A and B are shown apart, each in its own frame.
Chain A
């Protein structure tokens, strides 16, 4: 941090050694954080960025596990590409294990689904501020816009984030700055407030106009969402996991598996994950260890994982009947299934479960 005694009031502050002011930004790779970077670059500020991996990012894992359309470009990591376009250094930080407690026990509660946005923001901002001090950045910034998100981007929650992250006055929000009290970098003349924006609300038009001005045209669509915790279906599966384990915990394997396949819970003590296509089957195949793996023997069908209490033959039989109904043999009277568990393969011939015997409430 720069010493107060060095501040000049009439001309922009230049730290010792005549180096430029340096700012560290939280970069998701979406349009808002990209524009925030550009606004500061326009003022000659040297920008570096940080991107946090929570384990719940939609674009990353999912993009890779879904079947890409023929001829479509492979999935990409938005923050990396934004950093390349912007010409900034990007620090990629894996916070997934520390992040568990944010998801399981958020002080400020959840949003509409299992998204602990306020706690998440506080956690990330605090991390970014600690990094900024360690790496010699003078302040931090984000692409947040007042009123854009119902939980964390509000007039009453911004000060909570700033205070609880221990960064009050040192987090600049360039896109919405004109609607906020002046921050230290503005007060000190490091940042020209008149060249910042006063965007608010959920509309995207001002951002798109600014993007056009900066000739930024390759940015992800905001409609896709970025975090599984805001996704209703995903949140339901995570709640189910917690309910049946009787504790709010998860491993990286758990949260990856919640992203793939049909999840079916025929009884409280076990669950099935049924692959929906070749790519998901391949993906699920990487999680065999410690689970029962069910596959059709002679015809095409999904790879199904069974997890929970799996020792009863009756349960394994029901699991096979469910798996068989998603195979090419679903209309047959008998389908041969192989059931692998702890190095042993058992063969079961089953009658695929008819639709009317699979109640809706089994689908998680």
Chain B
């Protein structure tokens, strides 16, 4: 696993833009590299796990603090 974490700030973006952002960003990440996503759209709670599942990525963590969601995703196959 790589140590570097790419951070994506998707605050104030509405669905589906946070997913578009991570979809684009993860392309440049090596296998098993990690991406941190910060978002305020509540849709992320259901959409991010679905996006990870269909793309073979691993959702390491998804936590909510007030109106902010922070997720760590590990790039899979």
Question: Do A and B make up one complex?
Answer: yes
What's the interface size class on B, roughly?
10 to 19
Q: B55 contacts which chain A residues (CB < 8 A)?
A: 89
Asked if B65 is at the interface of the complex by the 8 Å CB criterion, the answer is no
Chain A: CB-nearest residue to B18: A64
Tell me whether A64 and B12 are in contact in the complex, defined as CB-CB below 8 angstroms, given that A81-B50, A84-B53 are known contacts.
no
Task: Compute how far the CA of A76 lies from the CA of B47 in the bound complex, rounded to whole angstroms.
Answer: 6
Complex contact A64–B43 (CB within 8 A): yes
- Tell me if A17 counts as interface (CB < 8 A to partner B): no
Contact string against A for B residues 5-31, beta-carbon threshold 8 Å, 1 for contact and 0 otherwise: 000000010111001100100000000
Contacts known (A83-B50, A84-B50, A92-B23); A77 close to B42, Cβ less than 8 A:
no
* Residue with the highest number of chain A CB atoms closer than 10 Å, among B15, B44, B50: B15
- Given the known inter-chain contacts A53-B20, A64-B41, A74-B43, please indicate yes or no for A286 contacting B50, CB distance below 8 A: no
Identify which of B12, B15, B51 contacts A75 (C-beta below 8 A): B15
A80 to B20, CA, bound (A): 12
A74 to B14, CA, bound (A): 13
CA distance A87 to B54 in the complex (A): 7
Say yes or no: A75 contacts B42, CB within 8 Å.
yes
Q: Is A88 an interface residue (CB 8 A)?
A: yes
Please tell me which one of the listed residues B23, B42, B53 contacts residue A64 in the complex, with CB atoms under 8 A apart: B42
Q: Which residue of B lies closest to A62 (CB)?
A: B14
Closest partner residue, chain B, to A76 (CB atom): B46
Show 19 residue pairs from A and B whose CB-CB distance is below 8 angstroms, ordered by the A residue. Answer: A53-B20, A63-B43, A64-B42, A74-B42, A74-B45, A74-B46, A75-B15, A75-B43, A77-B16, A77-B47, A77-B50, A80-B50, A80-B51, A81-B47, A83-B50, A83-B54, A88-B54, A89-B54, A256-B14
- Chain B residues in the interface with A (C-beta under 8 A): 12, 14-16, 19-20, 23, 41-47, 50-51, 53-55
Q: Which 6 A-B pairs have the closest CB atoms?
A: A74-B42, A76-B46, A60-B15, A80-B50, A84-B50, A61-B14
